[in-house]
Amino acid sequence: MNSTTLSYERPGFAPTEEPRTGPLLEIDPPTFHANFNRKPFLIKHRLVADALFALPRLIELAKRLPPALIEYNAGDIPVSLNPTLTPHTGLSPQETLRRIEECRSWMVLKNIEQDPQYGALLHRCLDEIQTYSEALDPHMRGREGFIFISSPGSITPYHLDPEHNFLLQIRGAKSAALFDPSDRALLSEQELEQRAAGVHRNLVFKESYQAKAAVFDLTPGYGLHFPVTAPHWIKNGNEVSVSFSITFRTPATERRAIIRRVNHDLRRIGWTPTPPGQSALRDAVKYYGFRALRRADYYLRRNRATPAKGYKKAVAGEAED
């Protein structure tokens, strides 16, 4: 990709409780069809003035969510960050939000679909996305929503996410640098396998990578599509930022993740596994072998027997076909 920067004027922010009527998203069908899960692209949305994203409402949401669904830390951090070295502020989630303008923090409220009001908004947005995505990657499921609240100048380190994602900018501005997930000079199969196996999302960033970035300056009223596993890092502007991330998975994304998870185990025992998409037979052996072991494990656990272990036998076709 060549580096590009797109900027737009910032509409005013005036929270309102008015009913949401009509479409919430504005999508160009040819752009969506040509770029979905291939390249980042912009959409528009009508959530800028929605009262659910005012800071007092977000503080109330943070109180309702289980602590495990709130992640927050200092926002004055490098683009490349070892997750074990992430600095914290010592503030509570509620205090972080109250002082977000000056406390130099970054926060995400996770799985907000569990809250009735925010869940209803998430599903309405994703219903509109599904109108266009269904023909390209069918059977949307695993719908999840995340709200990001960032102090001025905060950095979200270089990382990848395993879902289809549309990041809707509500308040403030941020610059998002995205990279091609198919570029193996930037993102190796081993790194993809590790993330599928549960390794932390952060990746190692090298300054030489930035020349390959597609850079988008996001302002309120606009949203950005992130292809699955596209590496990216984000820098907040000079104001508090609020963003709404609407995400989903499909059988196809889950299948690729399972194959990479099996490949991770194969690589640990000394094999050199074939990446997904290069052998239909090997992919099927890994995928259905994994599912069979999961079912057997569940059955044995219910009957208080010894759980099934490993994938070695189930994926033995990797070395034979």
At 239 the pLDDT is: 95
Q: What is residue 15's predicted lDDT score, i.e. its pLDDT?
A: 56
pLDDT score of 294: 87
pLDDT at 289: 94
Burial status of residue 194 (CB atoms within 10 A of its CB: 0-12, 13-18, 19 or more): middle
The pLDDT, as a whole number, for residue 118 is 98
Beta pairing, strands 105-109 & 164-171: unpaired
Give the whole-angstrom CA distance, residue 213 versus residue 155: 16
pLDDT tens by residue, the chain, 321 residues = 333 333 333 334 445 565 577 899 999 999 999 999 999 999 999 999 999 999 999 999 999 999 999 998 887 778 987 777 677 777 888 998 988 888 888 899 999 999 999 999 999 999 999 999 999 999 999 999 999 999 999 999 999 999 999 999 999 999 999 999 999 999 999 999 999 999 999 999 999 999 999 999 999 999 999 999 999 999 999 999 999 999 999 999 999 999 999 999 999 999 999 999 999 999 999 999 999 998 888 788 887 655 555 544 444 444 444
d(CA 249, CA 163): 5
pLDDT of amino acid 215:
98
Which domains does the chain carry? 25-249 (2.60.120.650), 254-319 (no CATH)
293 — phi, psi (to 5°)? -65, -40
In terms of DSSP H, where are the helices of the chain?
29-35, 55-64, 93-98, 116-133, 189-196, 251-268, 280-302
Q: How far is the C-alpha of 269 from the C-alpha of 87, rounded, in Å?
A: 35
Residue 201 tokens, joined = 């999302």
pLDDT of residue 9: 34
Q: Residue 3's pLDDT is what?
A: 37
- Side chain identity at residue 232, one-letter code: H
